[in-house]
Structure 1
């Protein structure tokens, strides 16, 4: 079924309505060397909103704070109609140990700074951005709940956190009557499917909507790279006066490999069969996966965003979906592969017919 940006979805176990594609703003600002300037960033937001989009994703440290500042300027006239999601815990001042991390001091200072930059009285959705294995979960959850009770944050969520920690936090929040987690942001695409082992099943079981970032694998799934990009040493970031080129970043992050290019080839094959662009097909696969609420778009230009939005109209037939699934398959590992095997089904169910649908 074809979707539109105003085909709103509920985010996790909340009543919050969000668009099936979120607009990411890590490209708002040129401080990182490859983003969009103020005028182009405004055009990106205007295009997204004009099509019914309402879910905006940012973070306090994106483009050194420019992303939030630009959003604060651009959303003055229609703030109430938007769902603004931001994040905290990444280091805000190098050398200051308490300017980062998920602890209470960092949390409250980060939120106050984001409120000023966003020019708003409240944040719709606040993510803990990056887990650091140092702060007690009770401190994190109580701090988040305090902000909700103060009205400065409406909903809370997690990003880049191990599944067992998220499930533990959700259980503690439920038992103590604190604000529940309603969303989980993870990297998820045809290139990166390991979230299917624990993170996505956990989110579905505990009521967290999955909000994938990098659904195009850093642009690799658009077909812009080839085998020649794998040859020789990694490019020297200093060769670019504007900062590290995206190819350098993708090589460093491991997005650009023989395996990922093979998956990109499968995406191109399906795109040619269906008459869509590879990027649209890759996005369509992600946004229709079980548990996924709203993939985050990382467009830098209007042309890229327009192409991304075209994914809403892509319908993937079963045969093409199976082809993509096979090309991108990843092992689930222990105990998942063992439990899914025929031997374990036999020793637990025997010949019994059990309807497991709920």
Structure 2
């Protein structure tokens, strides 16, 4: 297992992170999975034994049950150098202050997460989504309080747009408040929108990238094929519609190439999709999940897979996003003065 520095910090994380959205199976998350405590213990042991040192969850996953299962599975004692990341922002009750990134909500939710996880400190505390009604000074100030109290070690964000992230970094710098060391984003061969703004910002500003749903909810696993029925037991069949697919023909073209490369290398299409991501700029770790041990074992094997330049080029071509403005204009007028962050964008 390879370990990479997470953004502009000294924290080393494994290139694969254990995702736990399937733990608990409560409410809408039942469509994703319903891993119970016994199975969670086995899966955590498998991941830790494979070298994974980061477990990712969120307070909203099955309304706290995922965190509770992790806490019970670890028994209040983390094996080795295992790190825990969790998130806050989503609605956790019926009251007017039971969602968002206010000081009130963040501090309360952090304390609830600590209790459920049976731990004294959260290693990476992620703001799960943007809150346009709470001043960033308040959110970052609350994170500063939590860091000073020893309840969290690092802060990050998730699902922010480019201007949201840059605004947050600017406030941190001006006010001397905690700086996001990482962003957890959706980024796959099928969904490369992050290359327009979020990845260049990551390169330029030193913000580590954690990728959620790196095989697009299983759509890039090779189990879903063109003109075939959706396999039993998948989240798509259960009605989970994230991520959205805007061009189905393009999706299947990508899957065709993934399967061809996988068959030639004797590995799964999922492993090829994960290996492509691990070769992208600023990507530190991929959050992998699974309903069972076989899925985790297959994903874990991707940590050792290195694609050739030709294989990467094939995948780049079949998945290349449109060159939107201002990037097509820059390609004509500014290409001789591009910096490292500019080169993240695939202009063909």
CA offsets per residue over residues 19-68 of structure 1, 9 Å max, x none?
11100010112223222121111111100001221111100011221110
Hey, which bits of structure 1, 4+ residues long, moved more than 6 A? Answer: none
Instruction: Tell me what 2:98 maps to.
Output: 99
Q: Distance in 1 between matches of 2:314 and 2:240?
A: 25
Per the TM alignment, residue 199 of structure 1 is displaced from its structure 2 partner at its CA by 0.5
Per the TM alignment, residue 247 of structure 1 is displaced from its structure 2 partner at its CA by 2.8
Per the TM alignment, residue 315 of structure 1 is displaced from its structure 2 partner at its CA by 1.3
- Where do 5+ consecutive residues of structure 2 fail to align? 342-348
Instruction: Tell me what 2:313 maps to.
Output: 322
8 A Cα contact 2:97 2:104, kept in partner: yes
8 A Cα contact 2:225 2:255, kept in partner: no
Q: Tell me the TM-score normalized by structure 1.
A: 0.88
Alignment of structure 1 residues 84-163 onto 2, 5 Å: 84-93=84-93, 95-163=94-162
2:3 is the alignment partner of 1:8: yes
Per the TM alignment, residue 324 of structure 1 is displaced from its structure 2 partner at its CA by 0.4
8 A Cα contact 2:125 2:156, kept in partner: yes
Number of matched pairs: 335
Q: Distance in 2 between matches of 1:337 and 1:109?
A: 46
8 A Cα contact 1:217 1:255, kept in partner: no
2:279 is the alignment partner of 1:279: no
Alignment of structure 1 residues 128-207 onto 2, 5 Å: 128-207=127-206
Cα RMSD for the two superposed structures: 2.3
Instruction: Tell me what 1:18 maps to.
Output: 13
Larger Rg computed on CA atoms: 1
Per the TM alignment, residue 272 of structure 1 is displaced from its structure 2 partner at its CA by 1.4
Q: Tell me the TM-score normalized by structure 2.
A: 0.90
Alignment of structure 1 residues 210-221 onto 2, 5 Å: 210-221=209-220
8 A Cα contact 2:182 2:208, kept in partner: yes
Instruction: Tell me what 2:344 maps to.
Output: none
Determine helix, strand or coil for the equivalent of 1:293: strand
Per the TM alignment, residue 100 of structure 1 is displaced from its structure 2 partner at its CA by 0.7
Determine helix, strand or coil for the equivalent of 2:294: helix
2:237 is the alignment partner of 1:247: yes
8 A Cα contact 2:37 2:72, kept in partner: no
8 A Cα contact 1:194 1:332, kept in partner: no
8 A Cα contact 1:24 1:58, kept in partner: yes
Determine helix, strand or coil for the equivalent of 1:18: strand
2:288 is the alignment partner of 1:297: yes
8 A Cα contact 2:216 2:243, kept in partner: no
